[in-house]
Structure 1
Amino acid sequence: MHALQYEITLPADYDMAVIRERVAAKGHLLNAFPGLGFKAYLMRERGVDGSPVNQYAPFYLWNTAEGMNSFLWGPGFQGLSDDFGRPVVQHWMALAYEAGPAVDAAPKAAVRHRTPLPQGARIADLATGLLDDAAVLSCVDGAVGVVVAVDPRHWEAVTFSLWAGAAPAERGEVFQVLHCSTPEWDRLVRGRAW
């Protein structure tokens, strides 16, 4: 599995209704996209949930590299690039996906927590700790699902969680979920991905 996210930071006075309308009009286009576990259409508004910025920042969990490549090199990502400029795409290798007790609910909030992985620590121990933390987080009431992934180029871990209601009080950046496309949600490998 591959996790992917790009962030489009918008001016402080940007009308975020434009993003809501864009997602309402185009969000359904990936509802049957091959290879896509889920795409959470995320937004942060300056001053809401502690956000310092206005931002559109979709998060994807791909079941297949072919699906991810088809999206990145296809008309969907090109359309976004045409409208906003080509963003930097963050890419992480998924270590695990855990379904939460609210797995059947439509997510309303998401939290992204990034952690640099310390030099000198044993990689297997780091992975075990990340997997354990994801398993615990996925058991919290209201959790829809939790992804833990690592960028081995920068040795950064990301824990991404979806919530049926308000995000719990935890460290991380809080996003509003405007829509969630889930064409292969039921095919996501649960637990450790190797």
Structure 2
Amino acid sequence: MHAMQYEITLPADHDMDTIRHRVATKGHLLDAFPGLGFKAYLMRERGRHRSPVNQYAPFYLWNTAHGMNSFLRGPGFQGLVDDFGRPAVRHWTVLAYEESPDATAGGALPRAAVRRRRTLPETAPLSAAADELADEAGRLTREEGASAALTAVDPRTWEAVSFSLWADEAPDDAGDVFEVLHVSAPEREKLTRGRQW
């Protein structure tokens, strides 16, 4: 599985209701996209949850590389490029993915997301770092209000990312906090739970 995110940083005085409207009118277009486990349509506003910027930053979890590549070459991503310019797209190989019992039982749709990125130290054995990251995904989904969590690694830069979805408010001290505007999850039931590598 592959995690992917790009960030569109907007001016400090930008009316973020334009992003809410964009997602309200276009978010459903990926509700049946092949190969997509889920897309969380995320935004953050300057001054809320310690955010230094206004930003639209959707996060994807792909079941297949083919689905990810089809999206990047397709009309939906091209529409974003036409409106905002071509963003740098970060992507990571998923190390572990977990869901809370509430999520698998059809709990509330997430309202918040948390992302934490960090570089793995060169001195740390990769097996130990992988164990720690896999444990982190499981630990996050045991916290009250969490619905899903993943950890992933970019082996080019050895950057690790932890991403979690929350039914209500997310803990402010856990990383970058985003508002979830919509979730498209056409192949969520196909996502492999547990450790991937």
Could you tell me whether the CA contact under 8 Å between 1:101 and 1:142 is conserved in 2? no
Task: Tell me the equivalent position of 1:126.
Answer: 129
Could you tell me whether the CA contact under 8 Å between 1:3 and 1:94 is conserved in 2? yes
Q: 1:10-21 residue pairs with structure 2 within 5 A?
A: 10-21=10-21
Structure 1 residue 153 corresponds to structure 2 residue 164: no
Unaligned runs of 5+ in 1: none
Task: Tell me the equivalent position of 1:88.
Answer: 88
Structure 1 stretches of at least 4 aligned residues deviating more than 3 Å after TM superposition: none
The amino acid of 2:14's aligned partner reads Y
Q: 1:175 aligns with which of 166, 178, 185?
A: 178
Q: How many matched pairs? A: 194
Residue 171 of structure 1, CA deviation: 2.4
1:186 & 1:112 partners in 2: Cα distance? 22
Task: Tell me the equivalent position of 1:76.
Answer: 76
Deviation per residue, 1:86-125 (Å, 9 max, x gap): 0000010001110013313201000001111000211111
Task: Tell me the equivalent position of 1:66.
Answer: 66
CA RMSD of aligned residues (A): 0.8
2:141 & 2:196 partners in 1: Cα distance? 16
Task: Tell me the equivalent position of 2:7.
Answer: 7
The amino acid of 2:94's aligned partner reads A
Structure 1 residue 191 corresponds to structure 2 residue 194: yes
Task: Tell me the equivalent position of 1:40.
Answer: 40
Could you tell me whether the CA contact under 8 Å between 2:49 and 2:172 is conserved in 1? no
Residue 38 of structure 1, CA deviation: 0.2
TM-score (norm 1): 0.98
- Percent same amino acid at aligned positions? 66
Unaligned runs of 5+ in 2: none
Task: Tell me the equivalent position of 1:141.
Answer: 144
2:170 & 2:102 partners in 1: Cα distance? 13
Structure 1 residue 49 corresponds to structure 2 residue 49: yes
